[in-house]
Structure 1
Amino acid sequence: MRKAHLILVGLLLSFVAKATNDIPRPEYPRPQFERSTWVNLNGTWTYEFDSDNTGNKRNLPMSKSLNGTITVPFCPESKLSGVNHTDFIKKIWYQRSLTIPTDWKNKKILLNFGAVDYAAEVYLDGRMVGFHHGGSTPFPIDITQIAKPGQTYNLVVAAFDNPQSGVQTCGKQSLEKSSYACFYTRVTGIWQTVWMEAVSPYGLKSAITSPNIDNKQLTITPQFYQISDGQTLEVTLYDGQKKVAQQKSKCSNGGDLILPVKGMKLWSPESPHLYDIIYRVKDAKGQVIDEVKSYIGMRKVHTTNGQFYLNNEPYFQRLIMNQGYYPDGIWTAPTDEALKNDILLSKAAGFNGARLHQKVFEERFHYWADKLGFITWAESPNCGMNPNNEIASRNFLSEWTEMLERDRNHPSIITWAPFTIFSNITPTFIRLIFDTQKITKAIDPSRLFNDVTGFHVATDIWSIVNYDSDVTRFALKLKPETIQGEYTNQPLFIGEFGGLVWETSENNKGTWGHGGLFTNENDIYECLEKLVNAIQASEKVTGFCYTQLTDIEQEKNGIYTYNREPKLNVERIKAIFEKIPSRLTKKK
């Protein structure tokens, strides 16, 4: 009897595992704020394009089935979506049924979207329950008053996208029909995980973690959905299985809890130590009404005397440009393992970090960067927007704020970099830069701020672009006397360089890259080593970002192919970049 029971249990577990594996991107999408009660809504939805914007007239918010099927969370332009439609998509509708678990009674029910490009409207049984602007940031919709446990509803999502409008961020999405130069296939609609969670009405809404390595303590700043009499928050810090610290307090929005961290272990790329955190919200009787799992890395970044410091020690940033494109998923990694693999490929080529270029990366990427030890600059996909347009500025600030709030607890992120190169600098754009800097420092004063790569108004780092492959001219541009603008001894950083093109296929038609096309492999190593030698000889340069990790469509200046296969001798590349050590001697 016991044997039969075990067989039945085994079959059941196997079925559950198979069912989970059938869901694309099944992992928990918010790794720094994890609850156990959630439902992944990825998978097969129905969809319909709406090029003439007649969906509302045709009553599509009420539709229980649309014309085609699509695999969420992959955008319709991608192969993994099953649609693979790469022309402009002005509007797309999505539909699926939504069943609320029966044990979610007396809970706040949140419908979460990781990202929808660009504007979204959400309907439940034909009733609009929420909307959002911003193609790269998450948004929750509280459906508690409408959705009842045990009931099934019709979920419809409309997504609007107009990358040519100039008022929305696009990143490297092509504004022409086809890809060209360093602009690639567009992304429309849902492109990150959709999921539901059940939360206590008095649960924890957010928690800001502020490590202070100088005073060996961690400050937690919580916010709650509601607060009842006698409600308390218990925060416990773990090093593996060992309890390091614990604090309890009456619940108060913005009321800090300070945890001493004895025997503190620092986070760095060389030793990415993470502490686990468990938040428990308890009612007046001491019963746990909400539990959230998280983690933190104890580390500090700052600048002084023209030098960048990590954990109070000079540190050289060897970054690789990563644009986060995938041949089958476009902006969405096909698997969680693919996100991890991009970091492993970067480290294998000698880099200790990456500039996450023109894209808000999935939060799971930051999780792997935290876990594997990989510093990053986090950017906005600001290309495509007109920074001299007031509506575009309004849209940008809203989306940028949401990105900061999502990612500010990740130790791997060391710099916020909102803008890339713009040629048309006007008073309107300069105002936007100042506003962005002010908002960024208000939300997160602990990190560095790089305003515009190649042009500076209010910045902690002086980043430049130098794609010159002639080593004499390249080195000349690294001298302080050649720096343009009001340079005030910020750390000098080469925000973009290299871009050397090595195309092994016989047909080079359409190939594009920032550097020249090399036909001899050894010439690439020779050129690269001369450039790195010039950087090493410079008195001011504190880091660089090499272009780039992989080829992307027609752009062929990657170290790896678009499919993540090595194009060059990776060990040789690694030896060249690592000629400059991460740990530096303090400047006198």
Structure 2
Amino acid sequence: MSDKHMNLTECPTREEYPRPQFVRKEWMNLNGIWDFEMDFGKSGIDRKLYEGEGFTKKILVPFCPESSLSGINYKDFMNMVWYKREFIVDKVTEKRTLLHFQAVDYHTTLWLNGKKIGEHKGGYTPFTFDITAFITEGVNLITLCAKDDPREKFQPRGKQSGQYYSAGCDYTRTTGIWQTVWLEFVSESYLKEVKYYPNAAEGLLNVSGYVEGPIKGLSLTAEAFYQGKAMGRTEAVIQGKEVNISIPLNEKHLWMPGKPELYDLKFTLSKEEVIIDEVESYFGLRDISYDQEGVRINGELIYQRLVLDQGFYPDGIYTAPSEEALKKDIELSMEMGFNGARLHQKVFEPAYLYWADHLGYLVWGEYASWGVDMTDLSAVNVFLPEWMEAVSRDFNSTALVGWCPFNETWDKNGFWIADGKYMYGTRQEDSILKLIYDVTKALDGNRPVIDTSGNFHVVTDIFDIHDYEQDGEAFAKRFEPMNNGGETYVTFADRQSYEGQAYFVSEYGGIWWSDEERDGWGYGQRPASREEFLERYRILTTTLLKNKRVSGFCYTQLYDVEQEMNGLYTYGRKAKFDPALIKEINMQKAAIEE
């Protein structure tokens, strides 16, 4: 650890507003230096750590204790950790005080002034406690316990390693708080959430809102602006907790990939003509549809030139060192000619989606499904609640083009080949995938849903495969029949079948290249030179671009992550190749664009 090696007061604290698409002026950032304790014996409750005594370390929130930025830098398993922080209330008012946690991995229990407030399970989505009844004038004490064991049967861990060391496709773990902690101050009645349903064809925005608290005498006003110019206004009397309104727009400015036109929004909640709540937001006017050819934005077929983004950082692990670093990853990707990313095995920070919206960068919303035993129906009880929270949190993102709750749902004990045939362990429970697909479609009927990326599909709007073949000729041979109206290439054809959907190669490449002299890996044999790398990249990518049936690709991956050295950038985000050379290949006209 720690304190003698790092001055925590000089480290970044992530001071930006943590919920950029739903902004209020009255809030307090609680990031910064907290007291911290590792509880290896899980005895903290017995020792009454929630009362605030017994803490021996300091940590910089919101960085996880495994990270160097946290000041702890402890890489071994920590199955239980504790946090403590004080805040001061000058005067207790009639305002409600909401305590928000953007993400804590995994099972959180919260105390305020020694009194238990509540719990939350799930390491990737925000949760809130109304602490109004528990705060006092003067000093208030927050204590938090986070239980986290990525080796448990039903704990979603994504790419966090279940072994002591990072290995293969798994990397350094994240325990406890890893996104912003903050206070928000609202009236007794306030606008709790909104959902946007843009209608680009008609030039209007439909809004579904939810009001918390008494509704008598309330009205809601919604105003839209484009570059400061008024675009539309609607007012409605609140008749129930849910309110549905439409804002006709005076002018249509369509959001498209690479052309991120956005409108600003302002919501005003009034009680008997007195303003009691104001929220600022934004949205993009765009329609999403999909058919056998691919995904369409505002009716235009978009070839998805995507890259796999794992969302890891050398110094912050799961947490970017700054908002600028989140934006920079998108810019680095676009510099190489990609127009979007699979946000892989992780629910990314809201600030990332903010910049995707503002830069016109397509993203697929995923979840950290690895670690959940998909052969047991009990997995639903763990997976579904947080997945629903993730869909709700990111529903309004303009850039989010589709959902993919699972990735490579391998059977327990995987598969092997015997006598020329695939042999499988305990198979995935297909009904889980169908249920999650159905729930996702019920929550969002507009975006396409891929049930499980790569394998094994049960019901999916887009048929995707993963193929890491490194031989360009062999790779092209697999897809060539599709280019001539022939049979569709399907991986694991004994387990999944193509049913006429748009076809998406959502993982390929992974070509290994590094100038660093250290242990690592990538897919296939490492190229002997930069020229050989670029030629391999060209052949693989051009094969997909020029196939009339392929609607998009996703290259593995944007940057190296620890021992996995198949990124186009290093882990420190240094380009391995001239970005212009990669961009030239990626920006070739695709067959479906001709």
Alignment TM-score > 0.5, same fold: yes
* Distance (Å, rounded) in 2 between the aligned partners of 1:228 and 1:74: 39
CA distance in 1, matches of 2:443, 2:27: 28
Give the letter aligned to residue 373 of structure 1: G
Q: 1:64 to 1:276 in 2, by over 3 A?
A: farther
Q: Does 1:482 align with 2:485?
A: no
Aligned to 1:165, what secondary structure does the other structure show?
coil
State the shift of 1:228 in Å. Answer: 3.0
Between the aligned partners of 1:358 and 1:329, the Cα distance in structure 2 is 17
User: How many correspondences in the alignment?
Assistant: 562
Map of 1:375 onto structure 2: 362
Instruction: Provide the C-alpha distance between the structure 2 equivalents of 1:583 and 1:221, rounded to a whole number of angstroms.
Output: 36
Tell me the secondary structure at the aligned position of residue 14 of structure 2.
coil
- Per-residue deviation, 1:493: 0.4
Question: Where does residue 312 of structure 1 map in the other structure?
Answer: 299
What is the rounded CA distance, in whole Å, between the counterparts of 1:582 and 1:398 in structure 2?
40
Partner of 1:551: 560
Aligned: 1:116 with 2:104: yes
Distance 1:260 1:444 in 2: 22
* Structure-1 residue corresponding to 2:430: 430
C-alpha displacement of 1:65: 5.7
Match of 2:79 among 90, 110, 121: 90
User: Secondary structure in 2 aligned to 1:78?
Assistant: coil
Separation in 1, partners of 2:363, 2:478 = 25
CA contact under 8 A between 1:350 and 1:574: conserved in structure 2? yes
Unaligned runs of 5+ residues in structure 1 are 1-19
The two structures have a TM-score, normalised by structure 2, of: 0.92
358 and 582 in structure 1: CA distance in 2 versus 1, 3 angstrom threshold: farther
Aligned match of 1:234 in 207, 210, 221? Answer: 221
- CA contact 1:503–1:517 (8 Å) conserved in 2: no
Q: Given the superposition, is the C-alpha separation of residues 23 and 324 from structure 1 closer, same or farther in structure 2, using an over 3 Å criterion?
A: closer
Q: Please give the per-residue CA displacement for 1:122-161, whole angstroms capped at 9, x wherever unaligned.
A: 001111101100000000001011114x422111000000
Aligned pairs for 1:419-568 (under 5 A) are 419-424=406-411, 429-454=429-454, 455-478=456-479, 479=482, 480-483=487-490, 484=493, 485-505=496-516, 507-508=517-518, 510-568=519-577
Q: 1:33 aligns with which of 5, 22, 30?
A: 22
The whole-number CA distance in structure 1 between the counterparts of 2:587 and 2:467 is: 20
Cα separation, partners in 2 of 1:584 and 1:537, compared to 1, 3 Å: closer
Q: 1:23: Cα distance to partner?
A: 6.3
User: What secondary structure is seen at the aligned counterpart in 2 of 1:449?
Assistant: coil
Greater shift, 548-557 or 536-545, is seen at 536-545
Q: Give the AA of the match of 1:491.
A: A
What letter corresponds to residue 84 of structure 2 in structure 1? Q
C-alpha deviation, 1:583, in angstroms: 8.4
Residue 59 of structure 1 aligns with an amino acid whose one-letter code is: K
Secondary structure of the 1:218 match is strand
Contact 1:316 1:582 in 2 (8 A): no
Q: Which residue of 2 aligns with 1:189?
A: 176
Q: Deviations over 1:71-93 (max 9, x none)?
A: 00000000000000000001000
- 2:588 corresponds in structure 1 to 579
Q: Deviations over 1:320-353 (max 9, x none)?
A: 1000000000000000000000000000011000
Q: Quote how far apart the aligned CAs of 1:580 are.
A: 3.2
Report how far residue 64 of structure 1 moved: 4.5
Deviation >3 Å, runs of 4+: 20-23, 425-428, 580-583
> Counterpart of 2:287?
300
Match of 2:264 in 1: 276
> Partners of 2:244 and 2:477 in 1: how far apart?
50
Cα-Cα RMSD:
1.8
Matched position secondary structure for 2:407? coil
For 2:241 and 2:52, locate their aligned partners in 1 and report how far apart those are by CA, in whole Å.
41
Alpha-carbon offset, residue 481 of structure 1: 3.2
2:375 maps to 388
Residue 391 of structure 2 aligns to a residue whose secondary structure is helix
How much does 1:516 deviate? 2.5
Instruction: Describe how 1:57-68 pairs up with structure 2 within 5 A.
Output: 57-64=46-53, 66-68=55-57
Question: Distance in 2 between the 1:273 and 1:206 partners?
Answer: 23
Q: Taking every aligned residue pair, what percent have the same amino acid on both sides?
A: 39
Q: Give the 3 Å change call, closer, same or farther, for CA 22–70 of structure 1 in structure 2.
A: closer
Q: TM-score when scaled to structure 1?
A: 0.93
Q: Say which is worse superposed, 416-425 or 403-412, in terms of deviation.
A: 416-425
| CA drift at 1:22 | 7.3
Contact 1:32 1:295 in 2 (8 A): yes
Task: Indicate if the aligned counterparts of 1:377 and 1:416 stay in contact, CA closer than 8 A.
Answer: yes
SS class of match (1:302): strand
Runs of 5+ unmatched residues, structure 2: 1-8, 413-425
Q: One-letter code of the match for 2:229?
A: K
Paired position in structure 2 for 1:14: none
Identify if the C-alpha distance between structure 1 residues 176 and 235 changes in structure 2 by more than 3 Å, giving closer, same or farther: same
Q: Deviations 1:107-134 (Å, cap 9, x if unpaired)?
A: 1110000100000000011111011000
Amino acid corresponding to residue 60 of structure 2 in structure 1: T
Q: Distance in 2 between matches of 1:177 and 1:58?
A: 28
SS at match of 1:74: coil
Mapped contact 1:123–1:155 kept (Cα < 8 A): yes
Q: Does 1:253 align with 2:260?
A: no
Per the TM alignment, residue 423 of structure 1 is displaced from its structure 2 partner at its CA by 2.4
Call closer, same or farther: CA 1:21–1:105 in 2, change over 3 Å.
farther
